[in-house]
Chain A
């Protein structure tokens, strides 16, 4: 069963505007969330994470928001740049149970110049 879902397979945004990538999860045991970025012909690389004790974590142009009651998190990229074009994966971990990550299927972001 898909415990982590990214319902938008693709997203297209104009350069300089905000990109918002969404992720929903079903397992209330998840307490740590990560976003990975994947370029073509490469494996995913870690981008940003958030613990369930927070509702926001910011790192430069990237901000992740967590809404535990809605079991929803989002990644905001502001301003978007053409180099941000990639596939973004959302992942969740139940640290109190195991270190096994559960991944969403990814969202392909295209930032147009």
Chain B
């Protein structure tokens, strides 16, 4: 099976712009979680989707949003980008309920905000 894929792998934006990141989970996986990784803050949970519904949400402002499609692919959107949004955004998929299952991480999308 192919692993979790994320596109694009690298992205450069300027402050005030918006960005959409994409994640394709492993075939058959229905749960997708998003994380932000920064050197200073480490790994922080953004949100989790399961069967097109947001199940859990981390402590991020409303500028961060996401959605999941019927084929389990997920997108994450960040509006009005700030310099502090520069980070590696990781997506992870899980077969069923990510609350109790292991997760498979994608390679991440490196977002740089100038």
**In the complex, chain A residues whose CB is within 8 Å of the CB of B103:** 38, 87, 89, 103, 105-106
Interface residues of A (CB under 8 A from B): 1-2, 6, 9, 36, 38, 40-44, 46, 87, 89, 91, 99-103, 105-108
* Cross-chain pairs A/B with CB under 8 angstroms, 15 sampled: A6-B102, A9-B102, A36-B43, A40-B100, A41-B56, A41-B99, A42-B45, A43-B45, A46-B43, A87-B100, A100-B88, A101-B88, A102-B105, A103-B90, A106-B103
Contact pick for B35, options A6, A43, A46, A105, CB 8 Å: A43
Nearest-neighbor residue (CB-CB) of B3 within chain A: A2
B80-114: CB near A (< 8 Å → 1, else 0) gives 00000000101010000001111111001010000
Q: Which applies to chain B's interface (DSSP): helix, strand, loop or mixed? A: strand
**In the complex, chain A residues whose CB is within 8 Å of the CB of B51:** none
| Distance to closest chain A CB from B108 (angstroms) | 6
Q: How many residues of B contact A (CB 8 A)?
A: 25
**A43-B35, A43-B58 are known contacts. Are A103 and B42 too (CB-CB below 8 A)?**
no
- Are A106 and B37 in contact (CB-based, < 8 A)? no
Q: Does any Cβ of A come within 8 Å of B62's Cβ? A: no
- Are A105 and B99 in contact (CB-based, < 8 A)? no
**In the complex, chain B residues whose CB is within 8 Å of the CB of A107:** 102
Contact pick for B102, options A91, A99, A105, CB 8 Å: A105
Q: What separation, in Å, do the CA atoms of A60 and B105 have in the docked complex?
A: 29
- Are B56 and A100 in contact (CB-based, < 8 A)? no
Nearest-neighbor residue (CB-CB) of B106 within chain A: A103
**In the complex, chain A residues whose CB is within 8 Å of the CB of B27:** none
- Are A108 and B101 in contact (CB-based, < 8 A)? yes
- Are B3 and A108 in contact (CB-based, < 8 A)? no
Known: A43-B35, A100-B108, A103-B92; 17 extra A-B contacts, CB below 8 A, are A9-B102, A40-B99, A40-B100, A41-B55, A41-B99, A43-B43, A46-B42, A91-B43, A100-B37, A100-B88, A101-B43, A103-B105, A105-B102, A105-B103, A105-B104, A108-B101, A108-B102
